[in-house]
Amino acid sequence: MDYDLNIDNLSIIKEKAIDLAFQFGPSLLKALILLLVGRYVIRLLIRLMSAALEKYEIDPSLSTFFKSFLNAILWVLLLISVATTLGMEMTSFVAILGAAGLAIGLALQGSLSNFAGGVLILVFKPFRVGDSVEAQGTIGEVESIDILYTKVRNFDNKVVTIPNGALANNPIINYSQKPTRRVDMAVGVAYGTDLKKVRKVILDVLKKDERIHDDPNPVVYFTNFGDSSLDLTIRCWADSADLWPVYWDNMEAIKEALEAHDIEVPFPQRDIHHYYPEGKK
């Protein structure tokens, strides 16, 4: 008797499964096909958009942002289409989507702030892709500006992801925005050195470097009486891309020129005077 009952239950379950398969199977199959085709179409549209943006030489910052934004919109539309294909009524879906959007909006206030920050960055352009910037304790080259985040690659090749909201609401130093930069160098010479001679030697070195601009002219100023040296500040101007090569090359060239002219570059030292009581060594 129990065996017959189990067989009857299995038959009923099997029939119901077949009914459900015939009832919902076509919708599931359509939804799956729509999802696969839609994913392919989204990728195709993104590639076409990338080619168009590259063809018309759109700013890489805008290009990355537009592609990210279009990708998000297309996926939302695809998911709505899949849901309606499964039989979900559009009005009900819109109501659920609205309620979910409100809840998600309250939960993701930071993300909305980042999105607004990304829009502000693209509108006012404090920096662009490829610029060298300093922000949020990070110095590096901007790799991409996405919907919510900006990626900055450090000069030691580490990628830092910074929220756009923080970038839009805090100071940013852009080292690439201006075509020229001032190169500051510091040199110390021994007390008693002829500063006019030192100035001439240094300026002669700077004149040999074609990367250094003549306007404004390079200058050498005496700036401080140091503990062990007379401190001088050297200032010259060069293209932004040549800043560090100019600094490194000329610091070495100045050191060699000072040695060639017997000008002492001192190291820290102290004179100690020891006084003994009378009659004692």
Q: Where are the domains of the chain?
A: 7-107, 117-174, 180-260
Average pLDDT, integer, range 156-178: 90
pTM above 0.75, yes or no: no
pLDDT given for residue 62 in this prediction: 67
pLDDT surpassing 60 at residue 235 = yes
Q: Which fold has domain 180-260?
A: Alpha-Beta Plaits (3.30.70)
pLDDT mean over 72-80: 81
Identify the residue with better confidence: 84 or 157.
157
Highest mean pLDDT range out of 3-17, 158-172, 193-207, 262-276?
193-207
- Percent with pLDDT over 90 in the chain: 37
Q: Please indicate whether the domains covering 117-174 and 180-260 agree at the CATH topology level.
A: no
Over residues 183-189, mean pLDDT = 95
Write down the pLDDT at residue 1.
47
Whole-number pLDDT of residue 202: 96
The arithmetic mean of pLDDT across residues 176-195, rounded, is 93
**What does the pLDDT read at residue 21?**
56
90 pLDDT above the threshold of 80: no
SS (H, E, C) the chain: CHHHHHHHHHHHHHHHHHHHHHHHHHHHHHHHHHHHHHHHHHHHHHHHHHHHHHHCCCCHHHHHHHHHHHHHHHHHHHHHHHHHHCCCCHHHHHHHHHHHHHHHHHHCHHHHHHHHHHHHHHHHCCCCCCCEEEECCEEEEEEEECCCEEEEEECCCCEEEEEHHHHHCCCCEECCCCCEEEEEEEEEECCCCCHHHHHHHHHHHHHCCCCECCCCCCEEEEEEECCCCEEEEEEEEEEHHHHHHHHHHHHHHHHHHHHHCCCCCCCCCCCCCCCCCCCCC
190-204 mean pLDDT:
94
Q: Provide the mean pLDDT of the chain.
A: 82
* CATH topology (fold) of 7-107: Helix Hairpins (1.10.287)
Mean pLDDT, range 185-197, rounded to an integer = 93
Domain 117-174 has CATH 2.30.30.60: yes
Give tens-digit pLDDT for 92-119: 666 666 666 655 555 455 667 787 888 8
Residue 251 clears pLDDT 80, i.e. is over it: yes
